[in-house]
């Protein structure tokens, strides 16, 4: 038997004794993975805290990538870095009868942390307000545990590919980069998880079908001649027209689309002018268009253009609409959700129903290449406040790191997901 990789011998006897049983039953294998992950709790918590204290924005995750590579290489694993940031690592037989991909995103957000934690962000104006530090540490724990029991994977003909993906928080996101560099080549199924502060730690939110929404970046640029604020009738009142775009375009879009499409056009920036007595010659607003219905998302472009032009027409300004198509909805495949349900049970966690959200996730692009599913990982300490994602006060119960690691590792081995007919 080859020397087990992953958790070092010093991590404790539980992993070694479990590994020593060569011909494990499936239940024994799951129990061994769970024990190995539990024994690595101090390391995984410390790793997550280190990432949390040193968050990095999308496509700038240099230190994060280096830390992951150092740990995986130290465990004897052959890491394949992506150009720039992010990486992939394979475990199990090269010629596998079944290959499972597990994905975690590694980037942070341009948000100021307000948690007051001892390991709060040391990067001003940047923090892990979406839980990607938890995702990364959980996948690291799953990889190290699976590597420790790699002989069991080989006996079952299962290979596991871990994708540590950069730049999930921007459009276009890092999923395109990972896929372009063969991350999904030969993959039969793919799984991921995302922190959910509305669920208690130990709970796993599962849903068949659509889980997230489509999401695009929308930008409207207006141009006019500009002029004096005392004579708006002699020019184009660009500020007034921009205000109408901000208020009337979302309203009109909501009346022209089927309400069941679940469309939400919300602006994040409005910019125009520098002097109070000058009508500017240019201005713009930008935001996100999110839709629950994938078919409506695919066809909304011409309608949005029509509405923008109709809204600005009375004011004589020129309008240019820029729409960057971002991500389609994440649609969880039925068999993949069942695999996550089995993994949840094997991990000693509790499955909970969850709703489709208007959040966007570029995990959807992986699902265009293989069936799979995303789970929602509970991060709320029971009885404590409910936080929200993308806010600087987000606090995560650290037991979620081990729960996430168990869920990912077990999802790779509990069943073989097959594409629906």
Q: Is the peptide bond before 292 cis (omega within 30 degrees of 0)?
A: no
Task: State yes or no: 338 annotated in a binding site.
Answer: no
- 390/346 Cα distance (integer angstroms): 31
Q: Is 169 labelled as part of a ligand binding site?
A: yes
Distance CA(196)–CA(397), nearest Å, equals 11
In contact, 163 and 103? CB cutoff 8 Å: yes
Tokens read off for 412: 């790779």
CA distance 241 to 377: 44
3-state secondary structure of 92: coil
Q: How many CB atoms lie within 10 A of CB 219?
A: 15
d(CA 66, CA 87): 10
3-class secondary structure, 124: coil
| Closest to 400 in 3D by CA, of 104, 207, 137 | 137
Label each residue of 361-408 as H, E or C.
CHHHHHHHCCCEEEEEEEEECCCCCCCCCCCCCCCCCCHHHHHHHHHH
Annotated ligand binding at 217? The verdict is: no
- Angle CA(19)–CA(102)–CA(298) in degrees, nearest 5? 165
Q: Terminal CA-to-CA distance of the chain, rounded, Å? A: 40
What is the spatial distance between Cα 125 and Cα 112, in angstroms, rounded to a whole number?
Answer: 4
Binding site residue list for Mn(2+):
130, 132, 169, 194, 390
Binding site residue list:
130, 132, 169, 194, 390
């Amino acid at each position: 038997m080859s020397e087990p990789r992953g958790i070092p011998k010093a991590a404790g006897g539980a992993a070694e004794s479990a590994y020593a049983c060569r011909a494990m039953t499936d239940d024994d294998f799951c129990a061994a993975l769970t024990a190995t992950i539990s024994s690595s709790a101090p390391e995984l918590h410390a790793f997550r805290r280190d990432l949390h204290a040193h968050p990095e924005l999308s496509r700038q995750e240099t230190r994060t990538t280096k830390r992951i590579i150092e740990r995986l290489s130290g465990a004897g694993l052959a890491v394949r870095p992506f150009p720039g940031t992010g990486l992939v690592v394979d475990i199990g037989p090269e010629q596998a009868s079944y290959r499972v991909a597990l994905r975690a995103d590694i980037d942070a957000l341009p948000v100021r942390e307000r948690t007051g934690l001892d390991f709060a962000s040391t990067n001003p104006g940047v923090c892990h307000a979406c839980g990607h530090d938890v995702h990364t540490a959980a996948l690291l724990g799953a990889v190290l545990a699976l590597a420790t029991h790699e002989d069991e994977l080989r006996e079952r003909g299962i290979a596991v590919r871990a994708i540590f993906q950069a730049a999930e928080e921007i459009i276009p996101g890092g999923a395109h980069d990972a896929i372009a560099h063969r991350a999904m080549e030969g993959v039969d199924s793919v799984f991921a998880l995302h922190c959910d502060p509305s669920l208690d730690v130990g709970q796993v939110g599962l849903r068949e079908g659509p889980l997230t929404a489509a999401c695009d970046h929308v930008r409207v640029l207006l141009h006019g001649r500009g002029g004096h604020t005392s004579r708006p009738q002699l020019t184009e009142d660009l500020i007034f027209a921009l205000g109408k775009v901000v208020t009337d375009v979302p309203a009109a879009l909501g009346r022209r689309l089927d309400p069941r499409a679940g469309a939400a056009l919300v602006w994040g920036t409005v910019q125009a002018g520098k002097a109070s007595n000058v009508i500017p010659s240019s201005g713009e607003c930008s935001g996100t268009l999110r839709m629950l219905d994938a078919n409506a998302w695919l066809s909304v472009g011409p309608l949005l253009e029509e509405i923008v032009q109709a809204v600005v027409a009375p004011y004589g300004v020129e309008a240019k609409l820029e729409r960057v198509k971002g991500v389609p909805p994440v649609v969880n495949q039925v068999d993949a959700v069942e695999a996550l349900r089995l993994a949840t049970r094997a991990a000693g966690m509790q499955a909970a129903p969850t709703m489709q959200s208007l959040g966007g996730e570029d995990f959807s692009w992986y699902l265009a290449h293989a069936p799979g599913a995303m789970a929602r990982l509970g991060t709320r300490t029971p009885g404590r406040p409910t936080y929200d994602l993308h806010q600087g006060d987000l606090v995560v119960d650290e037991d979620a790191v081990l729960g996430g690691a168990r869920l990912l590792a077990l999802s790779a081995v509990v069943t073989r997901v097959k594409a629906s007919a």
